[in-house]
Chains A and B, each alone.
Chain A
Amino acid sequence: MNPKAANRLRYASLLAALWLLTACSQWRYDLGMPLPKSGIPEVEQHAGLSEALIALGPPQRISATRDGYVLAWEHWHIKENTLGLSLGLMGADLFSIDWGQMHAKGEFLLLTFNRQHQLTASARSEWDNHGGGQAVQPFLGLISVVDVGDLTGKMTQHRWGGSLLKPLPRALNNDSSPETGQNGVEQRGTPTAIGQRSLEMH
């Protein structure tokens, strides 16, 4: 092989190798601000709604309940790492090898108040979860090994005005939906197959 042809082959091989890689991707999401470690109103202090709002500011989630209100504050930090090889950029969606890892860390504070705006219960949770997966997909790339879409979506308040304009199974479930502000609150990533959203048939 003459030197020019060998060089050309070398360039083409390098280019093909680069296109073969779908690359390493890192995504970081920070949703909201960390909750204060102290100064959170407690039931024993006979705290009221005023004290909670002064200490924590407006909640991120709120709903009326049968006997008062439930208010929630949250903070999420999500990391998503993926590494993959595929032939996709070469025009053939035939073969891919994927590896993915997800790390979700967060905290959630829930306070309930009665009709007299007195604190009746409080609960705080913190979590640090890991997940991920690997896949070899020889024919079609059908699945994504990591999906954090249900954790990073927009707040439900933005959809409040259109709650009755959803597709029919979801609109019919409006009286149970946690997005209305009248039926409780839900955390990000809550499964929809059971509970209040099960009739929405996602």
Chain B
Amino acid sequence: MKRADFILITLLCTSLLPACVQYENKRGVDVAWQTTVTQQLVKGTSTRQDVLALLGPPSQLIALDDETVLYYLFEHSEGEGLILILYNRMRIDTRYDRAIFFFDENDVLTEYSTHIDESQSS
């Protein structure tokens, strides 16, 4: 086989090679609001300091007069794809693990809620 034929066939085969792609992207604070952690918190008793000590700095802090809200967010995307020359396909699923804590004017916990997506838990 001549060199020119070899190059052409190699390029042709390379063009047709399929590729499998896996994609993962993580953003936000570490998920530390598992049930084993948050069961230490008691509405009406625990303070903002207790939450900050357990979970660290939040993603967002919201204030309404003397009330404060700490919001924690961990964004996790996972994707799978098939990259061919003539057909490419990519699917990306994004899930949001989050926790929210409300405190009154005395910095005492009044409400909270947490969510961890089990299908993509890291």
Contact = CB atoms under 8 A, between A and B. Distances in A.
B8 A15 contact: yes
Interface in A12-37: 12, 14-15, 18-19, 21, 23-33
Contacts of B99: 58
A154 B61 contact: no
A28 B92 contact: yes
20 contacts: A8-B5, A11-B12, A18-B16, A23-B85, A23-B86, A25-B88, A26-B88, A27-B91, A28-B89, A32-B94, A33-B95, A58-B115, A68-B64, A115-B64, A117-B102, A157-B71, A158-B28, A160-B60, A160-B61, A182-B63
Pairs A-B, 8 closest by C-beta atoms: A53-B113, A181-B62, A64-B64, A57-B115, A58-B100, A28-B91, A11-B8, A58-B98
A23 B95 CA distance: 29
Contacts of A60: 96, 98
Given A8-B8, A58-B100, A26 B90 contact: yes
Main secondary structure of the interface of B (DSSP, over half): strand
Interface in A167-202: 181-182
A157 B60 contact: yes
A58 B70 CA distance: 11
Interface in B54-93: 59-65, 67, 69, 71, 73, 75, 84-93
Contacts, number: 133
Contacts of B95: 32-33
B78 to A, nearest CB: 10
Given A53-B113, A157-B59, A62 B92 contact: no
B71 A181 contact: yes
A69 B67 CA distance: 11
Given A57-B98, A69-B64, 16 more contacts: A4-B2, A8-B5, A11-B8, A15-B11, A25-B88, A28-B90, A30-B91, A30-B92, A32-B96, A49-B102, A57-B115, A62-B60, A69-B62, A155-B27, A158-B59, A181-B71
